[in-house]
């Protein structure tokens, strides 16, 4: 039963997550340490490595808000969850003392021992953390970025059993969204089918399901797989409920890639009677997901 204790301790981290605000910094540090443990046999990481790699993870997958926590925040504060230790004592949040002399962080000995004994526990914790923080379009990207194999994480039977009990999803929501948008991408109009069934068309939440986004018709769009991913990564967003915006953080050189720029300012392709996304969900996406500033019109 020890492994259950370790899973619970690593997946019930104290973090500010009220009101649907994203706070992925501690989970991303734990995921990074799990990747380090899997690769090297030890979760121990010098601050210089954490500063680089967690900094990159937070830039890519963290909240886009200005003033979001830096790597020093989880590196020092994860200690208070009783799962993480540093090789010398430093105050919380301060970069100066971290840089003054070498310092490493690692899981506590009991957690480290259990994770070494049980790769399945590593996968179970990784899956629970990544599914708690990100939509399924992004979860595999996060796992690859921390050095964990998404196939092993998602196919592990222990991981399947350990997933945090999420709110029940509405089984019909995806079908209803795709139908309401004429089985076509609300951004580009892609409407391919294979043997008569839509292919590459997905129902996308505007406000992520795991951050309070309801399975309502005004919290979803039918999008092609590419545009679903770009919406969830914050490369594309909505200026208002009916208008697409593209982020200045997105860049492409090829003609196909640059076609994304042409979506900027485009009206959503709603059929008569289809609900546009609710302003409250559009505002959440703009604040918590959309990266940087919109392109100039
Ligand atoms: Zn599309």
Ligand 1 mean position, distance from CA 8 (Å) = 39
Q: How far is the CA of 196 from the centre of ligand 1 (A)?
A: 19
Alpha carbon of 201 to ligand 1 centroid (Å): 8
Q: Which of 130, 162, 194 is the last residue of a domain?
A: 162
Residue with tokens 């690859």: 144
Structure confidence at residue 205 (pLDDT): 97
The answer to whether residue 1 scores a pLDDT higher than 50 is: no
Residues 145-181 have pLDDT tens digits of 999 999 999 887 766 665 555 567 788 999 999 999 9
Determine, yes or no, domain membership for 295. no
Q: How confident is the model at residue 297 (pLDDT cuts 50, 70, 90)?
A: low
Expressed in angstroms and rounded, the spacing between residue 191 Cα and the centre of ligand 1 is 9
Q: Quick one: pLDDT at residue 64?
A: 86
Whether residues 92 and 158 share a domain: the answer is yes
Å from CA of 59 to ligand 1 middle: 25
Domain identity same for 137 and 227: no
Nearest to 162 by CA among 130, 125, 217: 125
CA 57 to centroid of ligand 1, rounded, Å: 26
Closest CA to 115 of 43, 223, 18, 12: 43
- Angstrom distances, CA of residue 175 to CA of 134, 204, 222: 22, 11, 10
> At residue 3, does pLDDT exceed 60?
no
pLDDT value at residue 4: 53
Between the CA of 259 and the centroid of ligand 1 the distance, in Å, is 10
The verdict on 83 and 124 lying in the same domain is yes
pLDDT category of residue 262 using cuts at 50, 70 and 90: very high
Paired residues of 267 in beta bridges: 243
Task: State the distance from the centre of ligand 1 to the C-alpha of 262, rounded, in angstroms.
Answer: 12
Centroid of ligand 1 to alpha carbon of 187 (angstroms): 5
Using the mean position of ligand 1's atoms as its centre, give its distance from the Cα of residue 136 in Å: 18
Contacts of 3 (CB under 8 A, 6+ apart): 114, 118, 120, 121, 124, 158
State the pLDDT at residue 12.
86
Q: Is residue 296 part of a domain?
A: no
Average confidence score pLDDT of the chain: 92
Tens-digit pLDDT profile for residues 59-97: 999 988 777 789 999 999 999 999 999 999 999 999 999
φ, ψ at 62 (rounded to 5°):
-85, -175
Check whether residue 105 and residue 178 sit in a common domain. no
Do 29 and 85 reside in the same domain of the chain? yes
Q: Where are the beta strands (DSSP E) in 33-188?
A: 45-46, 84-86, 104-107
Distance 260 CA to ligand 1 centre (A): 9
- Separation between Cα atoms, residue 178 and residue 180, nearest integer Å: 6
In a domain, 297, yes or no: no
Write out pLDDT tens, residues 101-152. 999 999 999 999 999 999 999 999 999 999 989 999 999 999 999 999 999 9
Tell me how far the alpha carbon of residue 56 lies from the centroid of ligand 1, in angstroms.
Answer: 28
**Nearest 10 degrees: CA dihedral of 37, 43, 47, 48?**
-20
Residues 73 and 140 reside in one and the same domain: yes
Instruction: Check residue 166 and report its DSSP letter.
Output: P
Ligand 1 geometric centre to CA of 211 (Å):
24
Range of the domain at 222: 173-288
Token pair of 105, please?
């962080």
pLDDT at 18: 66
Residue 168 lies in a domain: no
Confidence of residue 283 (pLDDT cuts 50, 70, 90): very high
pTM of the model: 0.89
Q: Is 186 found in the same domain as 154?
A: no
Q: How crowded is the C-beta side of 20, counted as CA atoms within 13 Å?
A: 18
| Residue 166, pLDDT score | 55
CA of 188 to the centre of ligand 1 (A): 4
How many angstroms does the Cα of residue 194 sit away from the middle of ligand 1?
Answer: 17
The total domain count for the chain is 2
144 CA to centre of ligand 1 in angstroms: 25
Of 123, 138, 162, the one marking the end of a domain is 162
Q: Which of 108, 140, 162 is the last residue of a domain?
A: 162
| C-alpha 193 – ligand 1 centre gap (Å) | 14
CB neighbours (10 Å) of residue 69?
A: 19
Q: Are residues 128 and 192 in the same domain?
A: no
């Amino acid at each position: 039963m020890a492994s259950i204790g370790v899973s619970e301790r690593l997946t019930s981290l104290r973090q500010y997550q009220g009101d649907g605000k994203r706070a992925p910094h501690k989970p991303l540090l734990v995921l990074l340490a799990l990747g380090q443990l899997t690769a090297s046999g030890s979760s121990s990481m010098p601050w210089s490595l954490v500063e680089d790699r967690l900094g990159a993870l937070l830039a890519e997958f963290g909240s886009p808000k200005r003033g979001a926590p830096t790597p020093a925040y989880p590196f020092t504060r994860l200690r208070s969850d009783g799962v993480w230790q540093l090789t010398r004592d430093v105050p919380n949040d301060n970069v100066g003392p971290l840089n003054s002399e070498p310092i490493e962080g690692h899981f506590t000995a009991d957690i480290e021992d259990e994770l070494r004994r049980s790769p399945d526990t590593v996968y179970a914790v990784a899956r629970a953390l990544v599914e708690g923080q990100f939509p399924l379009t992004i979860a595999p990207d996060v796992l690859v970025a921390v050095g964990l194999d998404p196939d092993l994480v998602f196919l592990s039977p222990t991981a399947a059993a350990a997933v945090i009990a999420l709110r029940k999803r509405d089984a019909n929501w995806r079908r209803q969204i795709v139908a309401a948008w004429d089985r076509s991408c609300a951004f580009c109009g892609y409407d391919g089918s294979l043997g008569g069934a839509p292919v590459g068309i997905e129902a996308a939440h505007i406000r992520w399901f795991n951050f309070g986004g309801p399975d309502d018709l005004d919290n979803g769009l039918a999008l092609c797989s590419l545009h679903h991913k770009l919406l969830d990564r914050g490369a594309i967003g909505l200026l208002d409920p009916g208008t697409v915006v593209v982020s200045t953080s997105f860049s492409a050189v090829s003609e196909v890639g640059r076609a994304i720029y042409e979506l900027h300012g485009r009206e959503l392709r709603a059929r008569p009677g289809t609900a546009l996304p609710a302003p409250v969900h559009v505002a959440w996406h703009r604040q918590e997901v959309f990266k940087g500033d919109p392109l100039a019109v």
